Structure 1
Amino acid sequence: MSKDIEHDSIESLDKHEHYQFTAGSGQDPLRVDKYLMNFIENATRSKIQQGIKEGAVTVNGEVVKSNYKVKPHDDIRVSFDHPPHESLLVAEDIPLNIVYEDDHLVVVNKPAGMVVHPGHGNYSGTLINALIHHFENLPNNSSNRPGLVHRIDKDTSGLLVVAKTEEAMAYLSAQFAAKTSEREYIAIVWGNFQEKSGTVEGNIGRHPKNRLQNTVWLDDEAYKGKPAVTHYTVTEDLGYVSVISCRLETGRTHQIRVHMK
């Protein structure tokens, strides 16, 4: 662990988040369970690992496993004493727009404004709350989220594939991991393009000043984020705005918004 670590520990007003740490710019890669051992008093490694297993530790808003390597500027939050809201799934009778279904999977058209899974600030009214009401015994993915194979942003509308069986979960997850499945998005963006088609490449990570936003990190910056590739084609030029078709090689949070910006 680097000696040049900047971090803070705060007790949140929300009782479900007892600790918050921000890894400094000099943080060397370190397992998150070992990282937390250095900053949480009276916490054994087994307790930390159990909390991580139960989803009580998030990094940049995502539940992680014990072997996750902490990186510079990571935002780490811990809620050991109370189970996170995300794990308290409640079935809700929310209408679903189902465009295809068979014995193995279902394809749902998610409307804009609906969150895919519960998370900080969104503990009900999500797609998963609706899914577990309409379907019984959905298989959990690696993050213990029933049926979920992939996701899209809250304000994005579009099709989501949901696994109904363990076999479908395994096969669909493998396809998304191998990038053999293709996703196309239609977006309206401000401005006009000099080139009517092209590729945008730029590593995406958390904004250093606003942790709720993502940004493109340049090659000469300390934290370079994760690789992201977006292929675009302009389908309509409407003057002030353009309609584009995007095919993503990667699935980073807010990827289209960040790359188009």
Structure 2
Amino acid sequence: MKGRPPGKPPAPSRGGRKPGSGSGAAPGRARGKAPAARARNPEAPKAAPKPAAKAPVAKASPAKGVSLDVRQFRVGADDDGIRLDRWFQRHLPDVGFNTVSRWARTGQLRVDGARAAPGDRISEGQSIRVPPAEPKAAETAKPRRVRPQLSEDQVAFAQSLVIHRDAQAIVINKPPGLATQGGTKTEDHVDGLLDALEFDLDQRPKLVHRLDKDTSGALLVARTARSAAFFAKAFSSRTARKVYWAIVIGVPSIDDGMIELPIAKQPGTGGEKMHVDEEEGLPSRSRYRVIERAGNRAAWVELQPYTGRTHQLRVHMAAIGHPIVGDGKYGGKDAFLSGTISRKMHLHARRIRVDHPDGGRVDVRAELPEHFAASLASLGFDLSAGDLPLDEEIERKPTREDEKKAARAHAKQVRKGRRGERRSRGAGESRSPRKK
């Protein structure tokens, strides 16, 4: 048969008669006659050479770890709410983004049977249909980066920063001068210390937001993939609340104000510096409240960012003429106070409040670094006056308008209840049998 390697010639029958001999033999079955005839008569003409048999077709074998079958995956609780391309990064890191995009364009990638795009959000329990994996060329494979092993001192230092820990979240009090993530010429950073914060869980914690290198204070770290997705959504949707303390040069004329100035990267700085740009900047909002003042020399203020732009609080305070003490990048030489006041940045993430994935809230305050606390004392500020209540935490008596709204809502509920009673009575009467 076509495609099979050539086999042995058939054996002669028991009666001595060879297959194909005799007048009734089919033309296509005469392969065995020519060699037999040559054996009996050497002068007989040689038969035409047989055509070479075709080589067998070899089936492509899958590379190691590659499946040639369509695969089905079930979305777990830790992946609820994340993007589909992020799911691939977690569970199928060998599948590149370009491959995922191509599968989506051609309709091969599906979630619960429907076509899906890389940016679609997935939910727990959904089924993901993944096409057969494609082997990667050996030359394109990159060696896996191995994180350096932490020393005992590094582990002890990282764990000493923890001010809150539960099953889903860790909050550390980041000291000034320690970067959140690595970069050019930045070897010491929080991200490099996260292996020390696994504690009783066998998975590495994940950063969900960041603080500037010179900014100290509360930094939230997620302990699981599920909580990382939950907290990331809270920060992107602005439901998480962050409260900062700062000492600024001079005293704002308004004690409680909102700064709304668009921010963009400053050209020529390589993205290292931001500035106010009314035409191309992104909308940015920051609220400040004056806690105390030291004459006209300086003020202790509370800051709340309502958007999350790079260096937002620093840019906004400098833009209204009150740069943060120690912020030479945005305040220049005017950002420093003489005397015993430290030249370090006086910006501290005092409080973070965010909903917890298991219910309730994470609400943590971080103590001040030494230089900030010393500056407050030197300027005569009372540390106990710093923690102002958030707007929703302020207890106030209901106004006349609030009482009217409550009365209208109550009346509406009463009317709905009465309509429901009439409907139920009418339905009961229609079902009751008529008396004859």
TM-score higher than 0.5 here? yes
* CA distance in structure 2 between the aligned counterparts of 1:172 and 1:194, rounded to whole angstroms: 36
Report the CA distance shift for 1:91/1:257 in structure 2 as closer, same or farther (over 3 A). Answer: farther
Secondary structure of 1:183's counterpart equals strand
Aligned ranges 1:56-75 → 2 under 5 Å: none
The equivalent position to 1:90 in structure 2, one of 130, 148, 153, is 148
Secondary structure of 1:208's counterpart equals coil
Q: Aligned partner of 2:275: which letter? A: T
Report the CA distance shift for 1:242/1:88 in structure 2 as closer, same or farther (over 3 A). Answer: farther
Q: Aligned partner of 1:112: which letter? A: P
Counterpart in the other structure of 1:246: 303
Aligned ranges 1:1-261 → 2 under 5 Å: 89-93=147-151, 94=154, 95-96=157-158, 97-122=161-186, 124-135=187-198, 137-138=202-203, 147-211=206-270, 212-219=272-279, 224-238=280-294, 239-261=296-318
Q: Aligned partner of 1:229: which letter? A: R
TM-superposed deviation, 1:121: 2.1
* CA distance in structure 1 between the aligned counterparts of 2:241 and 2:229, rounded to whole angstroms: 17
TM, length-normalised to structure 1:
0.60
* CA distance in structure 1 between the aligned counterparts of 2:209 and 2:149, rounded to whole angstroms: 20
Structure 2: tracts of 5 or more residues without a match? 1-95, 100-117, 120-139, 319-436
Deviations 1:125-161 (A, max 9, x none): 111111123326546xxxxxx5101111000001111
Secondary structure of 2:241's counterpart equals coil
Deviations 1:14-37 (A, max 9, x none): xxxxxxxxxxxxxxxxxxxxxxxx
Deviations 1:91-112 (A, max 9, x none): 5342131111112111111001
Q: Which has the larger radius of gyration?
A: 2
Comparing both chains, which one has the higher relative contact order based on Cα–Cα distances under 8 Å and sequence gaps of 6 or more?
Answer: 1
* CA distance in structure 2 between the aligned counterparts of 1:256 and 1:237, rounded to whole angstroms: 19
* CA distance in structure 1 between the aligned counterparts of 2:251 and 2:225, rounded to whole angstroms: 45
Structure 1: tracts of 5 or more residues without a match? 1-46, 51-65, 68-80, 140-145
Aligned residues with identical type, % of pairs: 30
How many residues align structurally?
Answer: 176
The alignment yields a C-alpha RMSD, in angstroms, of 3.0
TM, length-normalised to structure 2:
0.37
Report the CA distance shift for 1:102/1:193 in structure 2 as closer, same or farther (over 3 A). Answer: same
**Larger helix proportion of the pair:** 2
Alignment check: 8 A CA contact 1:138 1:163 kept: no
**Larger strand proportion of the pair:** 1
